[in-house]
Amino acid sequence: MVRRCGRYGCPSRLGMDAAIHLRTGVFGVPDPRNQTSLRKRSGIVSYTIFMPNALSTERSLYLRQHAGNPVAWMPWGDAVFERARREGKLVFVSIGYAACHWCHVMERESFDDDEVASILNTKFIPVKVDRQERPDIDAVYMSICQAATGHGGWPLTVVLTPDKQVVFVGTYFPKRSTPYRIGLVELLERIASLWEQQRQDVVAAASALMERAAPLFRVAEPGRVDRATCELAAIQLAQSYDERFGGFGQQPKFPMASTLWFLLVWGSVGGDSTTLSMVTRTLDAMRWSGLWDHVGLGFHRYCTDQQWFLPHFEKMLYDQALLLMLYAEAAACTGNVLYRRTAFEIADYMERCLLLGCGAFAAAEDADTRHRALAETHRATRVSRQALLAAGPRCRPNRRYA
């Protein structure tokens, strides 16, 4: 609903032209950049009045970031499924975290959209989960997603019955369908229609999926891992090793610190030069590639291509910690000076950019920022590589999330 004020006939206490949009969310002040663009376009200033959803008082920063959405989000809990049973609705669960790029994209395209919000609010019980606050929930549904689709990622999108059985699982979806991916609007309408018209069939299919997924959650008996198991693991990893570019698999390429740690120890203890060469080739490739931040130091989350060229720019605390230990151990095993220097540089990055005033470390550095500093500025102005490196490492003012 839009009401025109000021010279359009409504007295304005703000002393300026304004358009008031009413919708559900958190009370907020409009972005000054948006005000400017609206003034140029129509001569008015746009304000949005919001009412908070159930996430506004949550402890998680990620959940509070979604308190302003028109979607009537609820936090995960027994009340969600009690309400779903009472109203006979499916539960729509979106799992993400504060530094996730595609989580931001899906929020901007869909969760901040009134059309999507109307579908979710009327036909589903919408739930938001912070995977860094509830890794147990994330682990269950990510395992099912990987088993059912062959891939995973965030945001993780799950539709559940009131008894927590999986009806549908996937990752990111655009609002509208494309030739390559179904859109969220179409997906939600299809699922809601099936639930309304063929509910028993949907429940039966969900039960069958959960039965097939049951082996994923069996806990192995504690004990020592025998030599034969380690040998088999090393052989299987060697089969997926990328001899040309280092690392494992094709694309995207992740650093896989725990896998490399195992191979480093296995190759060192057993004197297996072939296994050690896989590790050193990968460590070299990661250090000299786009995965490494040559300006601010530290490792990015992953690279989108097989050659380790184009990084996904977010940086995770746990990646830095694992890779610091890996490069330090590799330096001790091989005497490689580059590995030693890399370990110190990771520690330098963590201290400069992730250490908070309270003494704790932030969990991540966001890939999305309005302040693309040093690296991006130099790239845009075509400053020489020599001048860029001479400036020394800097911490980009990205958002950090504790």
Q: Determine the straight-line distance between the first and last CA of the chain, rounded to whole angstroms.
A: 38
Cα gap 394→209, rounded to integer Å: 49
* pLDDT reported for residue 272: 85
CA 256 to chain centre: 17
For residues 200 and 276, state if they share a domain: no
- Which two tokens mark 152? 């995973």
Is the entire prediction scored with pTM above 0.75? no
Cβ atoms of 32 and 61 closer than 8 Å: no
* pLDDT reported for residue 25: 36
With tokens 């007295």, the residue in question is 11
Q: Does 213 fall in a domain?
A: yes
Domain termination site, one of 217, 252, 271: 217
Domain termination site, one of 172, 191, 217: 217
For residues 336 and 238, state if they share a domain: yes
Task: Name the nearest CA neighbour of 267 among 277, 259, 255.
Answer: 277
> How do the pLDDT tens digits run along the chain, 402 residues long?
333 333 333 333 333 333 333 333 333 333 333 333 333 344 555 444 556 789 999 999 899 999 999 999 999 999 999 999 999 999 999 999 998 989 999 999 999 999 999 999 999 999 999 999 999 999 999 999 999 888 888 999 999 999 999 999 999 999 999 998 999 999 999 999 999 999 999 999 999 999 898 888 777 778 888 889 889 999 999 999 999 999 998 889 999 999 999 999 999 988 888 999 999 999 999 999 999 999 999 999 999 999 999 998 899 999 999 999 999 999 999 999 999 999 999 999 999 999 999 999 988 888 776 434 444 443 444 445 555 556 555 555 455 555
For residues 124 and 252, state if they share a domain: no
For residues 250 and 396, state if they share a domain: yes
For residues 93 and 210, state if they share a domain: yes
* pLDDT reported for residue 390: 60
Cβ atoms of 253 and 321 closer than 8 Å: no
User: The domain containing residue 104 runs over which residues?
Assistant: 82-217
Q: Total structural domains in the chain?
A: 2
For residues 196 and 89, state if they share a domain: yes
